[in-house]
């Protein structure tokens, strides 16, 4: 008998919805940061040519990026950048990714390139979160082929469910043809406005359709979440007390629970207090980010009235 292969550790989550502007990037960035804040070594992979997840960390025109790993020119460890958070690494996107949809077509095992590239990283972190582009093209197929589960953000608006059937068909297809282990991690209601009856209607309809697949934490519409990227920071480092930050921390707890991770002991659910170590200090114990953070959470208040 040969050696027993070691079990990969990282759970790979693809944040996907071909509909534009539903909160994929905001979710990928802030979920990854919240997982890292609870001291789970996490890698955020920007797979969108728009590179919004990269710029959310103040990274533009990175010299090495995901494209180099997709085509096999560089190992994933050589494209990971540290972030301000000790447990969070970023694999940025760059301009070359624009052509990747076309260039990947001619490569062998073209849907498996990301899975192959990420394989070594599975042993060095607990979570890999992939931000997908707003399409069901080859890049998203790569994400779904690499992933253990897909997290689907749905914006709480009238056409929320539009296109969802096609996304779910694509997930089924990927499961049949490319990646039998692919699950639906959960459906996330985003930009929920508690004062707007349409938000409640949409949330109710989505829950009727999808039951427990829907995360119990909706993400509220919160202006702090939309401001944070222009400061190059995830919400936890921009305004840890905002409703957006608290919601993404709660979501991270649900994601951890669904992945079978025990919750951290101590502070109550979604509490900024619980995550202080992962945000503001501590040596990176095998973490994927290398630099100690320079800025602490600013403790600003949430003045979002929406
Ligand atoms: P794309 O399809 O272009 O990649 P996306 O699905 O990644 O878009 P985001 O970029 O995360 O969507 O969000 C779209 C816009 O909505 C951004 O300006 C973002 O700052 C804002 N936004 C996202 N979530 C929230 C929220 N909960 N509250 C307020 N604004 C939000
Ligand atoms: Mg995006």
Any idea which ligand is nearest the CA of 225? 1
Within-domain flag for 180: yes
Q: How confident is the model at residue 169 (pLDDT cuts 50, 70, 90)?
A: very high
Whether 46 lines ligand 1, by a CB cut-off of 6 Å, is no
Please report, for residues 104, 128, 165, 261, the alpha-carbon distance to residue 67 in angstroms, rounded to integers and kept in the order given: 10, 17, 29, 31
Residue of 160 and 28 predicted with greater confidence: 28
Mean pLDDT score, 99-105: 85
Q: Which pLDDT score, from 0 to 100, does residue 275 have?
A: 56
Residue whose CA is at the smallest distance from ligand 1 atom 30: 226
Q: Which pLDDT score, from 0 to 100, does residue 302 have?
A: 40
Q: Which pLDDT score, from 0 to 100, does residue 272 have?
A: 58
First to last CA, the chain: 62
114, pLDDT greater than 80: yes
Query: For 233-283, what is each residue's pLDDT tens digit?
Result: 999 999 999 999 999 999 999 999 999 876 655 444 555 555 555 665 433
111, pLDDT greater than 70: yes
12 phi/psi in degrees, rounded to 5: -100, 120
Q: Which pLDDT score, from 0 to 100, does residue 250 have?
A: 98
Q: Which of 230, 266, 236 is nearest to 251 (CA)?
A: 236
Query: How far apart are alpha carbons 76 and 93 in whole angstroms?
Result: 13
Whether 300 lines ligand 1, by a CB cut-off of 6 Å, is no
Ligand 1 pocket: which of 16, 18, 25 to mutate (most atoms within 8 A of CB): 25
Query: For 2-44, what is each residue's pLDDT tens digit?
Result: 455 555 589 999 999 999 999 999 999 999 999 999 999 999 9
Q: Which pLDDT score, from 0 to 100, does residue 118 have?
A: 97
188, pLDDT greater than 60: yes
Which structure tokens are listed for 246?
């608290």
Query: Taking each helix axis from N to C terminus, what angle separates 24-37 and 243-258, rounded to the nearest 10 degrees?
Result: 70
Within-domain flag for 184: yes
Domain range spanning residue 205?
A: 11-261
Q: From ligand 2's centre to the CA of 113, what distance in Å?
A: 21
Give the position of tokens 């192959």: 116
Q: Which of 265, 149, 123, 132 is nearest to 215 (CA)?
A: 149
Q: Which pLDDT score, from 0 to 100, does residue 282 have?
A: 36
Residue whose CA is at the smallest distance from ligand 1 atom 28: 221
Query: How far apart are alpha carbons 76 and 73 in whole angstroms?
Result: 10
Whether 25 lines ligand 1, by a CB cut-off of 6 Å, is yes
The domain spanning residue 145 has which CATH number? 3.40.50.300
Within-domain flag for 283: no
Query: How far apart are alpha carbons 51 and 223 in whole angstroms?
Result: 21
Whether 236 lines ligand 1, by a CB cut-off of 6 Å, is no
Whether 20 lines ligand 1, by a CB cut-off of 6 Å, is yes
Q: How many domains is the chain partitioned into structurally?
A: 1
* Residues whose Cβ atom is located within 5 A of ion ligand 2: 24-25, 52
Q: From ligand 2's centre to the CA of 285, what distance in Å?
A: 30
Within-domain flag for 276: no
Q: For strands 183-190 and 149-155, give the pairing.
A: parallel
Q: What integer best gives the mean pLDDT of the chain?
A: 87
Q: Which of 150, 74, 151 is nearest to 113 (CA)?
A: 74
Query: How far apart are alpha carbons 230 and 125 in whole angstroms?
Result: 27
Within-domain flag for 61: yes
Nearest-atom index, ligand 1, CA of 221: 28
Q: Which pLDDT score, from 0 to 100, does residue 190 have?
A: 97
Query: For 203-226, what is each residue's pLDDT tens digit?
Result: 999 999 999 999 999 999 999 999
Q: Which pLDDT score, from 0 to 100, does residue 6 have?
A: 57
Residue whose CA is at the smallest distance from ligand 1 atom 15: 21
Within-domain flag for 55: yes
Within-domain flag for 271: no
Within-domain flag for 220: yes
Lowest mean pLDDT of 88-92, 96-100, 109-113, 154-158, name the range: 96-100
Query: How far apart are alpha carbons 85 and 240 in whole angstroms?
Result: 13
Within 84-167, strands assigned E span: 88-91, 127-131, 149-155
Whether 144 lines ligand 1, by a CB cut-off of 6 Å, is no
Q: Which of 58, 84, 38 is nearest to 294 (CA)?
A: 84
Lowest mean pLDDT of 48-52, 141-145, 260-264, 296-300, name the range: 296-300
Is the Cα torsion angle 57, 59, 64, 65 positive or negative in sign?
Answer: positive
Whether 22 lines ligand 1, by a CB cut-off of 6 Å, is yes
Whether 199 lines ligand 1, by a CB cut-off of 6 Å, is no
Q: Which pLDDT score, from 0 to 100, does residue 280 have?
A: 55
Strand partners, 13: 129, 149
Whether 141 lines ligand 1, by a CB cut-off of 6 Å, is no
Query: How far apart are alpha carbons 171 and 141 in whole angstroms?
Result: 9
Residue whose CA is at the smallest distance from ligand 1 atom 23: 23
């Amino acid at each position: 008998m040969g050696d027993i292969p070691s079990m990969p550790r990282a759970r790979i989550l693809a944040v996907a919805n071909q509909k534009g502007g539903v909160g994929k990037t905001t979710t990928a960035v802030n979920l990854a940061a919240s997982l890292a804040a609870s001291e789970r070594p996490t890698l955020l992979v920007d797979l969108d040519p728009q590179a919004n997840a990269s710029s959310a960390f103040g990274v533009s025109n990175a010299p090495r990026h995901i494209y180099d790993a997709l085509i096999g020119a560089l190992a994933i460890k050589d494209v990971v950048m540290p972030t301000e958070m000790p447990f969070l690494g970023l694999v940025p996107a760059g301009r070359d990714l624009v052509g990747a949809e076309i260039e990947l077509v001619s490569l062998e095992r073209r849907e498996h390139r990301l899975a192959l590239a990420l394989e070594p990283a599975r042993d060095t972190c607990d979570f890999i979160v992939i931000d997908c582009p707003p399409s069901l093209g080859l890049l998203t197929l790569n994400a779904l082929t690499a992933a253990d589960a897909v997290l689907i953000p749905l914006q709480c608006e009238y056409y929320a469910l539009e296109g969802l059937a096609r996304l779910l068909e694509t997930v089924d297809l990927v499961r049949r043809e490319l990646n039998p282990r692919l699950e639906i991690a959960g459906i996330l209601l985003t930009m929920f406005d508690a004062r707007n009856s349409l938000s409640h209607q949409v949330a109710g309809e989505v829950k009727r359709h999808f039951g427990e697949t829907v995360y119990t934490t909706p993400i509220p519409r919160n202006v702090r979440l939309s401001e944070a990227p222009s400061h190059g920071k995830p919400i936890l480092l921009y305004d840890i007390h905002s409703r957006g930050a608290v919601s993404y921390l709660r979501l991270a707890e649900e994601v951890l629970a669904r992945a079978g991770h025990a919750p951290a002991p101590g502070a109550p659910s979604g509490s900024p207090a619980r995550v202080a170590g992962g945000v503001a200090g501590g040596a990176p114990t095998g973490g994927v980010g290398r630099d100690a953070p320079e800025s602490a959470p600013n403790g600003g208040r949430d003045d979002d009235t929406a």
